[in-house]
Amino acid sequence: MKLLKNNLTISNNQYRQDLLKQGLWLEFISIAWNLAEAVIAVVLGSNAGSTALIGFGFDSLIETLSAIIVGWRLQIEANGGSLESMEKAEIMASKIAGYLLFTLAAYVLVDSMQRLLGYGKHANESFTGIIITIAALVVMPFLAKAKLKLAHELNSTALKADAIESSCCAWFAFATLAGLVLNATLHWWWADPVASLVLVSLMVKEGLVAVKNKNCSCHNTCS
């Protein structure tokens, strides 16, 4: 009986290690994708004068940071780290992401209001920006679903929060895409700053939840 229990323990530990490896691979993919997405979106947004596209790019940078820190937390457990060190990693990930979101929200709010009031140039069409946001709408829900499933298996709050951030990123992409398409097809220049203001509310909501270190309040709408 004792031998059977030992075998079960070894089997369970190996299964968890396999799950941790899967989680690390998911975070690696998230880092690579979001980093490329961020650079492309910011460059395209700067060229087109699109606040929504620039905001989307900076949000991708925040997603990258979240993936890096959550990956660090998973690596700590994979290396046999203590529960205390894992909890510290989770709290750090939440707070850093939250304060970055507040900073980004302030920038987008000021810039969008200036454009709506007639200060600054109107956004130009960005067909490449439309393509990158469509790609995000395909990739991010896939990553979010895989992370949520793995978070349930590992019972990891940090991974679950990261998964929900990925889901919310898809909503950011949708709002950005709407502004870009309306501007390109109907020449509604105001669609870009209005879409940006929609992003502000999402960023503030995510930021408050992250700083308080609770599960993302947009779980019901994003997952």
What does the pLDDT look like over 32-88, one tens digit per residue? 999 999 999 999 888 887 777 887 888 788 888 888 988 888 888 888 777 777 777
Calpha distance 103→140 (Å, rounded):
23
The CATH code belonging to domain 2-222 is: 1.20.1510
Task: Give tens-digit pLDDT for 147-201.
Answer: 989 988 888 777 887 887 787 778 778 877 887 888 778 777 777 677 767 778 7
129 touches 179 (CB < 8 A): no
Alpha-carbon distance of 164 to 50, in angstroms, equals: 26
| 4-33 core/surface letters (b: 16 or more CB in 10 A; e: else) | eeeeeeeeeeeeeeebbebbbebbeebbeb
Query: Chain-wide mean pLDDT for the chain?
Result: 78
Q: Give the model confidence (pLDDT) of 85-99 as tens digits.
A: 777 777 876 677 778
Give me the residue spans of the domains in the chain.
2-222
